[in-house]
Amino acid sequence: MTDLLKLPVSSLKLQISQTDYSILSDNKNTRATNILGQERAQSALGFGVAMQNPGYNIYVMGEPGTGRLSMITNHLTPISHSQETPPSYAYVENFENNREPVAIELPAGQAQVFCKDINRLIDNLIATFPEAFESPSYLQKKTAIERTFNQLYNSAIDIIEQRSKEKNIALFRDTESITFAPIRDNKVLDEEQFNQLSQEERDTFHKDTEALEDSLGDELIELPQWRRALVEKNRQLDNVTIRMAISPLFKELTDRYQNIDNVITYLSEIKKDLGETIKDLFVQTQSLKGISDSTKKQLLKDQYQPNILINYKENTGSPVIYEPNPTYQNLFGRIEYSSDQGALTTNYQRICPGSLHRANGGYLILDADKLLNSPFVWEGLKRALKSGRIEIEEPYSELGINTVTLKPEVIPLNIKVILVGSTEIYYLLQDLDDEFNEMFRILADFDYDIPRNADNMQAFAQLMEQQAHDSGAKPLAESAVISLMEHSCRLAEHQQRLSAHINDALEIIGEANFLCKSTEIDSSDIEQALSAREYRNGRIAQSILEEMLDGTILINTSDSVIGQINGLTVLEVGGSSFGAPSRITVTVYPGSRGIVDIEREAELGLSIHSKGVMILTGYLGSCYAQEFPLAISASIALEQSYGHIDGDSASLAELCCLISALTLTPIKQSFAVTGSINQYGEVQTIGGVNEKIEGFFKLCKGRGLTGEQGCIIPQANIRNLMLKQEIIDAVANNEFAIYAVANVNEALELLTGESVGKKDNNGEYPEDSLNFKAISRLKEISDLGHDKDEDNNEDNNEDNNEDNNEDNNEDNNEDNNEDNNEDNNEDNNEDNNEDNNEDEAES
């Protein structure tokens, strides 16, 4: 039977032959654009992309490193190129309320053109003004307006001047005021001469001057009206001049953008606003004296130049955007600020787009984990998808400092969002967010591994070749591709499946390329890269192995011991995992405590491990204790284990060790065992079978291979074997062995060298079999417990009888006392009555 359970070399690893299929594509220049082997996910992705109804966004579920992002991008890129290019957007000044910038929609490719046209308009304005205000026609009209005003003014002054002459008073005009002075002998008196006049003459002069000033006021009473008329006529002249000067400049623009309503509206608003702006910059030159044309141009650009939010080139298709850091501002856009005298100020030119703007009209790919870790982003994204518009706003209620805030006009949102995340996040969102299923109705579920069929192997080989070429690595030989494929099967832990962790294979190509000394990468380079990686990550594994070899960690690989067995474990440290044997011991003694899992009692054993131990009781009861009560006390421990333990892969070893301790049958320590069992003793598949075997092999190799050492694994795990070549060579040379078992009995016979026995027609096992010994031992323990129960019952009966006798005696004593008391009372009453009667008679 031992030879039947021993695995041949051909079962230990999948050997891929180049003759099995055409390893490389006939056309090596064809790029791998399809999702590798992920037909289900690809179908869901295609349906989600084609479905344009609201809410059909996509959640891509799978493990990191499976190439989800690159696969999604490769799938979307050709689709997006065939789709219509979305419109571009720009923000412009709102001349009615500058805190609410206006969004302008432009056809694809027109945003940059429109921006250049506005820039050209500004250049033309600077070239046109102030020359337009220096033309002969303008100056002539302006002079005529001023002449009219001066005529009215001078006419009023002339009247007062004539009256002053009649009173021998001179009238002097200057730019600021009008003054009067006395005249004597046709000469104007100075102040000294005026003081020499008599008091009467001086009083007369003052009186006449006051009268002239009153008359002047009467004549110039309409002066403010004349001045207003002057200003109005000058304003009208300036407006007409500006309008006539800029009309040709705008004619070309309005003709070019006549089919874009919001652009025509904006040009009209600019035209209205330019009147005052041009007068400020070019007419009122006194206040702006010395300002250069470049400064004027910048002032005009700050006021009129569009802020291009997003500009798509024409006929480029819809955008495919991946946002690696989905913070609120990176996703929804932001408003930048500048410091002005301690306060933060801003304008429409400082509005910056987010990923939603860049992906609008196309596809936005987001990492679900990063998205949920960014404050306010998830709620903001849901709000945008529900409302169908992008709103740039500050997510925080307060900035803590004074700011000038903007409220830009919202932009319509038409987008397909693709969330890339883990299985845990998907189901977490389903459970905690009722709106999630309404917005992400498509699930693209990426498999952890894919079938190793001819199509997938062909696609795998093509992808490896393509990635090597794209990364600048040396060409891959066919042997290198085969080695990568075998490594992929090892990662998938299945001979007939390839791992979906494409990134791992790509990393190996890069490392092998670094180590390669020839013109192409072959299988030896791949193996060298894998060995180098194992060495880099193997410090802890090597340390544990050395402690086993020097006896610090007790692992026996040569003797036979009762109640002791070598289990196989997988230890995970950081991003690496490795296998190592672990000693399991069992003690059995009379009692009814059941099987005690010391790891669980010490709170080191997790739930699945505890479940595996509990199954042992079920097996003992179903297999051995059908005719008597199962009463046993046993303790199971993983020796020198000081961390948390989980998984039920040690349950086969624990059961074999328990039966060994129960039957006092020694177990060969040259074996190591892994496997899970059910209550009927069937051995079930486990994970990490390759690492477990390799861990025990390294220990045996370190101590010296004897040909007696080996591993016992579940029969269901044969298809998972992808062992290293040194183990395969050792098995081929009969220095090491791998056995596959389907049930507990097969494992027991290998471990003990004894027969477990088969039931005869009476349902009994042979007396020299392990199962007979187990039943006998369990019955013996059960009988011990039964005898003890009988002794306990007898003791209980004696105690009960004594208690009953005591109770009866107490009751009898109480009854006697009551009777005596009654008799005494009656006698006393009779005596008293007799005495009383006698006394009465004597009386």
Which long-range contacts does 546-555 make (Cβ < 8 Å, 24+ apart)?
A: 548/580, 548/581, 548/699, 548/702, 549/699, 549/702, 549/703, 553/640, 554/583, 554/639, 554/640, 555/581, 555/582, 555/583, 555/699
Adjacent-strand bridge partners of 92? 102
Instruction: State both tokens at 401.
Output: 């400092």
Asked whether residue 842 carries a pLDDT value surpassing 70, the answer given is no
pLDDT (average), residues 763-782:
89
Going by the DSSP 8-state scheme, the letter that residue 6 receives in this structure is B
Q: Which candidate, 320, 326, 419, places its Cα nearest to that of 360?
A: 320
Could you read off the pLDDT of 702-747 as tens digits, one per residue?
Answer: 999 999 999 999 999 999 999 999 999 999 999 999 999 999 999 9
pLDDT (average), residues 282-288:
55
Cα of first residue to Cα of last residue in the chain, in angstroms, is: 125
Domains and CATH numbers, the chain: 2-31+447-536 (1.10.8.60), 38-86+317-443 (3.40.50.300), 136-221 (no CATH), 556-775 (3.30.230.10)
Going by the DSSP 8-state scheme, the letter that residue 280 receives in this structure is I
In 49-175, DSSP assigns E strands to 58-61, 88-92, 102-106, 169-173
Could you read off the pLDDT of 670-700 as tens digits, one per residue?
Answer: 999 999 999 999 999 999 999 999 999 999 9
Asked whether residue 194 carries a pLDDT value surpassing 80, the answer given is no
pLDDT > 90 in the chain, percent: 50
pLDDT of residue 838: 42
Q: For the whole model, what pTM was predicted?
A: 0.77
Could you read off the pLDDT of 166-185 as tens digits, one per residue?
Answer: 777 787 777 667 777 877 77
Spacing of C-alpha 65 from chain mean position? 15
Matching residue, tokens 């009453």: 829
pLDDT (average), residues 346-364:
95
3-state secondary structure (DSSP) of residue 12:
coil
Which has the minimum average pLDDT: 53-62, 257-266, 572-581? 572-581
Question: Do residues 49 and 416 touch, judged by C-beta distance below 8 A?
Answer: yes
Those residues with Cβ within 8 angstroms of residue 794's Cβ, 6 or more apart along the chain or in another chain: none
Asked whether residue 28 carries a pLDDT value surpassing 80, the answer given is no
Asked whether residue 816 carries a pLDDT value surpassing 80, the answer given is no
Which has the minimum average pLDDT: 19-28, 357-366, 382-391, 478-487? 19-28
Adjacent-strand bridge partners of 440? 56
Q: How confident is the model at residue 200 (pLDDT cuts 50, 70, 90)?
A: confident
Q: How confident is the model at residue 86 (pLDDT cuts 50, 70, 90)?
A: very high
Decide: residue 74, CB within 10 A, 0-12 exposed, 13-18 middle, 19+ buried.
middle
pLDDT of residue 136: 81
Q: How confident is the model at residue 209 (pLDDT cuts 50, 70, 90)?
A: confident
Decide: residue 357, CB within 10 A, 0-12 exposed, 13-18 middle, 19+ buried.
buried
Signed CA dihedral, 416, 420, 422, 423: sign only: positive
pLDDT (average), residues 273-277:
85
pLDDT of residue 840: 38
3-state secondary structure (DSSP) of residue 18:
coil
Q: Which candidate, 251, 250, 303, places its Cα nearest to that of 273?
A: 303
Q: How confident is the model at residue 53 (pLDDT cuts 50, 70, 90)?
A: very high
Q: Which candidate, 487, 454, 465, 456, places its Cα nearest to that of 19?
A: 454
Q: How confident is the model at residue 605 (pLDDT cuts 50, 70, 90)?
A: low
Q: How confident is the model at residue 292 (pLDDT cuts 50, 70, 90)?
A: confident
Which has the minimum average pLDDT: 316-330, 728-742, 783-797? 783-797
Count the Cβ atoms, other than its own, within 10 Å of residue 707. 12
Task: Indicate the average pLDDT of the chain.
Answer: 85
| 649 in active site | yes
pLDDT > 70 in the chain, percent: 87
Going by the DSSP 8-state scheme, the letter that residue 605 receives in this structure is B
Q: Phi first, then psi: what are they for 700, rounded to 5°? A: -65, -40
Could you read off the pLDDT of 529-540 as tens digits, one per residue?
Answer: 999 999 999 999
Question: Do residues 152 and 226 touch, judged by C-beta distance below 8 A?
Answer: yes
The catalytic position among 318, 649, 651, 676 is 649
Count the Cβ atoms, other than its own, within 10 Å of residue 379. 13
The catalytic position among 296, 692, 698, 724 is 692
pLDDT (average), residues 246-270:
91
pLDDT of residue 31: 56
3-state secondary structure (DSSP) of residue 268:
helix
290-305 b/e with 16+ CB inside 10 Å = b?
eeeeeebbebbeebbb
pLDDT of residue 632: 83
Asked whether residue 243 carries a pLDDT value surpassing 60, the answer given is yes
pLDDT of residue 190: 77
Matching residue, tokens 């306010």: 376
Could you read off the pLDDT of 551-579 as tens digits, one per residue?
Answer: 999 999 999 999 999 999 999 887 678 99
Could you read off the pLDDT of 368-423 as tens digits, one per residue?
Answer: 999 999 999 999 999 999 999 999 987 764 445 555 578 999 999 999 999 999 99
pLDDT of residue 179: 79
| 724 in active site | no
- The rounded distance, in Å, linking the Cα atoms of 575 and 221 is 96
Could you tell me if residue 588 is left (phi over 0), alpha (psi between -120 and 50 degrees) or otherwise beta? Answer: beta
Which has the minimum average pLDDT: 365-374, 606-615, 743-752? 606-615
pLDDT (average), residues 770-797:
72
Question: Do residues 630 and 591 touch, judged by C-beta distance below 8 A?
Answer: no
pLDDT of residue 24: 47
Instruction: State both tokens at 487.
Output: 């490594």
Signed CA dihedral, 239, 240, 245, 247: sign only: positive
pLDDT of residue 404: 58
Q: Which candidate, 393, 322, 326, 327, places its Cα nearest to that of 362?
A: 322
Instruction: State both tokens at 571.
Output: 């230890």
pLDDT (average), residues 828-839:
47
Question: Do residues 483 and 461 touch, judged by C-beta distance below 8 A?
Answer: no
Question: Do residues 483 and 527 touch, judged by C-beta distance below 8 A?
Answer: yes
